[in-house]
Amino acid sequence: MTQLDVGPIDYLAVELPGARLDGRGLAELLSLTDRGIIRILDLVVAVAGDDGSATVLTIADLDGDGELDLALFEGARSGLLDDDDIAQGVALVDPGDAVALLVYENTWAGPFVTAMRGVGAEVIASGRIPADTVIAVLDALDTAQD
Residue 53 has a CB neighbour count (10 Å cut-off) of 12
Q: What is the pLDDT of residue 46?
A: 93
Rounded to an integer, the average pLDDT of 50-63 is 76
Q: What is the pLDDT of residue 135?
A: 92
Q: What is the pLDDT of residue 2?
A: 43
Q: What are 22-41's pLDDT values in tens digits?
A: 667 877 888 898 899 999 89
The SS3 assignment for 122 reads: coil
pLDDT at residue 56 greater than cutoff 70: yes
Q: What are 69-88's pLDDT values in tens digits?
A: 555 555 566 788 999 999 99
Residue 88, burial from CB neighbour count under 10 angstroms (0-12, 13-18, 19+):
middle
